Amino acid sequence: MPEGDVVATWNVPLHAQVHKIEFEHGTTTGKRVIRIDGNEILRRDWMFKLVGKEAFKVGDMKCIINVEALGTFAYEYSLDVNGKTFNKFKEEQNKRLHSWETTLSGHQWRVVLDKESMEIWANGNNIDTAGEFVDNGTVTHFELGKNPCKIIAQSSGKKKTGVTHTLYVNGEIVPSTVDKPNPSNQPGSS
Protein backbone atom coordinates (compact mmCIF):
# COMPACT_ATOMS: atom_id res chain seq x y z
CA MET A 1 0.00 0.00 0.00
CA PRO A 2 1.55 3.32 -0.99
CA GLU A 3 1.52 5.45 2.17
CA GLY A 4 0.75 8.58 0.13
CA ASP A 5 -2.71 7.30 -0.87
CA VAL A 6 -4.05 7.14 2.74
CA VAL A 7 -5.81 10.48 2.95
CA ALA A 8 -7.87 10.12 6.14
CA THR A 9 -7.90 8.08 9.35
CA TRP A 10 -10.61 7.97 12.01
CA ASN A 11 -10.65 6.10 15.35
CA VAL A 12 -14.28 5.08 16.03
CA PRO A 13 -15.04 4.15 19.68
CA LEU A 14 -17.57 1.32 20.17
CA HIS A 15 -18.29 -1.14 23.02
CA ALA A 16 -15.93 -3.79 21.76
CA GLN A 17 -13.00 -1.64 20.73
CA VAL A 18 -11.84 1.51 19.03
CA HIS A 19 -11.91 0.71 15.32
CA LYS A 20 -9.34 2.37 13.06
CA ILE A 21 -10.81 3.34 9.68
CA GLU A 22 -8.39 4.25 6.91
CA PHE A 23 -9.40 5.70 3.55
CA GLU A 24 -7.18 5.63 0.46
CA HIS A 25 -8.04 7.92 -2.41
CA GLY A 26 -5.89 7.75 -5.52
CA THR A 27 -6.80 10.90 -7.40
CA THR A 28 -4.74 9.94 -10.47
CA THR A 29 -5.88 6.29 -10.54
CA GLY A 30 -9.46 6.75 -9.34
CA LYS A 31 -8.80 4.19 -6.58
CA ARG A 32 -10.78 4.09 -3.32
CA VAL A 33 -9.92 1.67 -0.53
CA ILE A 34 -11.47 1.43 2.95
CA ARG A 35 -9.76 -0.54 5.72
CA ILE A 36 -11.13 -1.30 9.17
CA ASP A 37 -8.45 -2.31 11.68
CA GLY A 38 -6.07 -3.05 8.80
CA ASN A 39 -8.55 -5.30 6.94
CA GLU A 40 -9.61 -4.14 3.50
CA ILE A 41 -13.42 -4.05 3.27
CA LEU A 42 -13.89 -2.08 0.03
CA ARG A 43 -11.82 -1.47 -3.09
CA ARG A 44 -12.79 0.40 -6.21
CA ASP A 45 -10.29 0.95 -9.01
CA TRP A 46 -10.41 3.24 -12.02
CA MET A 47 -13.32 5.39 -10.87
CA PHE A 48 -13.74 8.38 -13.13
CA LYS A 49 -15.86 10.31 -10.62
CA LEU A 50 -13.46 11.34 -7.84
CA VAL A 51 -16.11 12.80 -5.50
CA GLY A 52 -19.04 11.05 -3.88
CA LYS A 53 -19.90 8.77 -0.98
CA GLU A 54 -18.85 5.29 0.12
CA ALA A 55 -21.18 3.45 2.51
CA PHE A 56 -20.10 0.58 4.78
CA LYS A 57 -20.67 -0.81 8.27
CA VAL A 58 -18.56 -1.04 11.41
CA GLY A 59 -20.33 -3.61 13.57
CA ASP A 60 -23.96 -2.50 13.44
CA MET A 61 -23.03 1.15 12.80
CA LYS A 62 -23.78 2.54 9.33
CA CYS A 63 -20.89 4.68 8.07
CA ILE A 64 -20.45 6.94 5.06
CA ILE A 65 -17.21 8.51 3.87
CA ASN A 66 -17.89 11.72 1.94
CA VAL A 67 -15.41 12.88 -0.69
CA GLU A 68 -15.89 16.51 -1.71
CA ALA A 69 -13.86 18.70 -4.05
CA LEU A 70 -12.29 21.82 -2.51
CA GLY A 71 -10.68 22.97 -5.73
CA THR A 72 -9.18 21.51 -8.85
CA PHE A 73 -6.94 18.93 -7.13
CA ALA A 74 -7.90 19.34 -3.46
CA TYR A 75 -10.40 17.12 -1.65
CA GLU A 76 -12.05 17.04 1.76
CA TYR A 77 -12.90 13.77 3.47
CA SER A 78 -15.47 13.36 6.23
CA LEU A 79 -17.05 10.43 8.05
CA ASP A 80 -20.67 10.08 9.17
CA VAL A 81 -21.56 7.37 11.71
CA ASN A 82 -25.22 6.43 12.13
CA GLY A 83 -26.29 9.64 10.42
CA LYS A 84 -24.14 11.91 12.59
CA THR A 85 -20.90 13.66 11.82
CA PHE A 86 -17.91 11.79 13.20
CA ASN A 87 -17.19 14.53 15.76
CA LYS A 88 -20.80 14.50 17.03
CA PHE A 89 -20.84 10.69 17.18
CA LYS A 90 -17.51 10.61 19.05
CA GLU A 91 -18.70 13.29 21.50
CA GLU A 92 -21.87 11.27 22.23
CA GLN A 93 -19.89 8.03 22.63
CA ASN A 94 -17.45 9.74 25.01
CA LYS A 95 -20.39 10.91 27.14
CA ARG A 96 -22.03 7.48 27.08
CA LEU A 97 -19.04 5.12 27.31
CA HIS A 98 -16.19 5.07 29.82
CA SER A 99 -13.29 2.77 28.95
CA TRP A 100 -10.11 1.36 30.42
CA GLU A 101 -7.33 -0.86 29.04
CA THR A 102 -5.16 -3.19 31.09
CA THR A 103 -2.97 -6.26 30.69
CA LEU A 104 -3.39 -9.23 33.06
CA SER A 105 -1.10 -12.27 32.82
CA GLY A 106 -0.11 -11.23 29.30
CA HIS A 107 -3.75 -10.87 28.16
CA GLN A 108 -4.94 -7.46 26.91
CA TRP A 109 -8.32 -6.31 28.24
CA ARG A 110 -10.55 -3.42 27.15
CA VAL A 111 -13.26 -2.71 29.73
CA VAL A 112 -16.16 -0.44 28.75
CA LEU A 113 -18.90 0.87 31.01
CA ASP A 114 -22.06 1.96 29.21
CA LYS A 115 -23.18 4.74 31.58
CA GLU A 116 -26.75 4.74 30.19
CA SER A 117 -27.47 1.02 30.65
CA MET A 118 -24.79 0.42 33.36
CA GLU A 119 -23.68 -2.66 31.40
CA ILE A 120 -20.01 -3.62 31.45
CA TRP A 121 -18.26 -5.00 28.38
CA ALA A 122 -14.88 -6.77 28.38
CA ASN A 123 -13.22 -7.23 24.99
CA GLY A 124 -16.60 -6.80 23.32
CA ASN A 125 -18.52 -9.25 25.52
CA ASN A 126 -21.26 -8.15 27.89
CA ILE A 127 -20.21 -9.60 31.25
CA ASP A 128 -22.04 -10.62 34.42
CA THR A 129 -21.87 -8.16 37.29
CA ALA A 130 -23.09 -7.77 40.85
CA GLY A 131 -23.92 -4.31 42.13
CA GLU A 132 -24.24 -2.80 45.56
CA PHE A 133 -25.17 0.60 46.91
CA VAL A 134 -22.63 2.30 49.15
CA ASP A 135 -22.37 5.75 50.71
CA ASN A 136 -22.23 8.36 47.94
CA GLY A 137 -22.52 5.87 45.04
CA THR A 138 -22.42 2.29 43.79
CA VAL A 139 -19.89 -0.51 43.41
CA THR A 140 -20.19 -2.95 40.51
CA HIS A 141 -18.23 -6.21 40.96
CA PHE A 142 -17.08 -8.51 38.13
CA GLU A 143 -14.10 -10.62 37.06
CA LEU A 144 -11.60 -10.49 34.21
CA GLY A 145 -10.43 -14.08 33.97
CA LYS A 146 -9.95 -14.92 37.65
CA ASN A 147 -9.05 -11.32 38.61
CA PRO A 148 -11.52 -9.53 40.92
CA CYS A 149 -12.59 -6.13 39.59
CA LYS A 150 -14.92 -3.36 40.59
CA ILE A 151 -16.08 -0.05 39.20
CA ILE A 152 -16.90 2.55 41.81
CA ALA A 153 -19.38 5.22 40.72
CA GLN A 154 -19.64 8.18 43.04
CA SER A 155 -20.59 11.82 42.98
CA SER A 156 -17.70 14.16 42.31
CA GLY A 157 -19.42 16.83 44.38
CA LYS A 158 -19.22 19.13 41.35
CA LYS A 159 -22.28 19.72 39.18
CA LYS A 160 -20.25 20.10 35.98
CA THR A 161 -18.25 16.88 36.53
CA GLY A 162 -21.15 14.78 37.84
CA VAL A 163 -20.53 11.11 38.62
CA THR A 164 -16.99 9.73 38.41
CA HIS A 165 -16.19 6.10 37.55
CA THR A 166 -13.04 4.35 38.77
CA LEU A 167 -11.95 0.83 37.79
CA TYR A 168 -10.01 -1.31 40.27
CA VAL A 169 -8.40 -4.60 39.19
CA ASN A 170 -6.89 -6.72 41.96
CA GLY A 171 -7.29 -3.68 44.23
CA GLU A 172 -5.24 -1.38 41.93
CA ILE A 173 -6.64 1.64 40.06
CA VAL A 174 -6.56 1.33 36.26
CA PRO A 175 -6.26 4.68 34.44
CA SER A 176 -9.12 5.55 32.11
CA THR A 177 -8.33 5.67 28.39
CA VAL A 178 -9.55 9.30 28.52
CA ASP A 179 -6.63 10.05 30.86
CA LYS A 180 -4.05 8.49 28.52
CA PRO A 181 -2.37 10.52 25.76
CA ASN A 182 -3.62 9.89 22.20
CA PRO A 183 -0.83 8.18 20.18
CA SER A 184 -2.26 9.16 16.78
CA ASN A 185 -1.80 12.91 16.61
CA GLN A 186 -1.12 12.93 12.89
CA PRO A 187 -2.75 15.59 10.71
CA GLY A 188 -6.07 14.53 9.23
CA SER A 189 -6.65 11.96 11.98
CA SER A 190 -9.54 12.00 14.39
Q: What is the CATH number of the domain that holds 76?
A: 2.40.128.180
Last residue of a domain, one of 82, 103, 125: 82
- Residue 180 phi, psi (nearest 5): -85, 150
**Which pLDDT value is given to residue 179?**
55
32 domain-assigned: yes
The amino acid sitting at 44 is R
pLDDT at 4: 55
Within this chain, do residues 145 and 172 fall inside the same structural domain, yes or no?
yes
Give the per-residue pLDDT at 184: 40
Residues of the domain holding 112: 95-177
Residue 22 lies in a domain: yes
Per-residue pLDDT of the chain (190 residues; tens, 9 = 90+): 444 588 999 999 877 678 899 999 887 888 899 999 999 999 988 877 788 899 999 988 899 999 999 877 788 999 999 999 999 998 888 888 899 999 998 999 999 999 888 899 998 889 999 999 998 889 999 999 999 999 999 987 887 778 889 999 999 999 888 654 444 433 343 4
Q: Is residue 17 part of a domain?
A: yes
pLDDT reported for residue 59: 83
Looking at the fold, whether 99 and 78 belong to one and the same domain comes out as no
Other beta carbons less than 10 A from residue 122's beta carbon? 18
User: Quick one: 41 and 109 in the same domain?
Assistant: no
- Residue 188 resides in a domain: no
Question: How many domains are there within the chain?
Answer: 2
Give the end of a domain, one of 82, 115, 142: 82
Question: Where a domain ends, among 47, 82, 117?
Answer: 82
E strand map for the chain: 6-13, 18-26, 31-36, 39-44, 52-58, 61-69, 75-81, 84-85, 97-104, 107-114, 119-122, 125-126, 130-134, 137-144, 147-155, 163-169, 172-174
Cβ neighbour number for residue 99 with a 10 Å cutoff: 20
Note whether 71 and 134 are same-domain residues.
no
89, part of any domain = no
**Whole-number pLDDT of residue 55:** 95
